[in-house]
Amino acid sequence: MSIRGACGVVFGAAILAMGSLPGRERPVVTTAGEHVEQLESRVAAQPTDVASRNELARAYLDAESPGLAWSTLADSPAAQRSEPAVQHMEARVLIEQGKAKEALALEEKVLATCGGDPSSPAAAPGCDFWLIVSATRRASILQELVHAGVQDTVAQPEASLVAYHNATHEARLAVAQ
């Protein structure tokens, strides 16, 4: 084969390789597509809307993109980073990233801010009944996970299942008279 022929083969291979490279933008999250785009637009238009930001982070988590969810919450205005609803969502992201100990610390912080008693009036703005109940439930599960030495529930499914069962198992006694 001549030099000219070899150069032609190399040039042809380069053209074929470039043809397979992505030439256009593609969505990172494809499973929720239009819904995620609408949420992204809403957050871009109203960056101080905590509910929209949390909903976008939840959509990213549902699409198995915890990094995008974390970035969405990390871009919150500084005043919102300490809000219980944002910290509760951050804890969920940390669980998805295999950081149970850090998630537990955040949930305990949420409960300390909110008072931790769902039957009493909320101690801080943003502490509603469902947030307190969810944080309490998640904190008890995370305590069992951390106690069992589980950081990543995906990496340790058997130990996670045992810890989850221990946290959610309830025994009720009734006294017969």
Domains (range + CATH), the chain: 33-168 (1.25.40)
Place of tokens 């100990």: 101
Task: Please determine, for residue 109, whether its predicted confidence score (pLDDT) is greater than 60.
Answer: yes
**Mean pLDDT value of segment 26-47:** 78
Q: Give the pair of three-digit tokens for residue 145.
A: 């996970």
Asked if residue 10 has pLDDT above 80, the reply is no
Using the predicted structure, report yes or no on whether residue 122 has a pLDDT greater than 50. no
Is a pLDDT exceeding 60 seen at residue 24? no
pLDDT at 126: 77
Asked if pLDDT for residue 123 goes beyond 60, the answer is: no
3-state SS of 117-134 is CCCCCCCCCCCCHHHHHH
Residue 103's pLDDT band (boundaries 50, 70, 90)? Answer: very high
Q: What is the mean pLDDT of residues 113-137?
A: 77
CA distance 141 to 133: 13
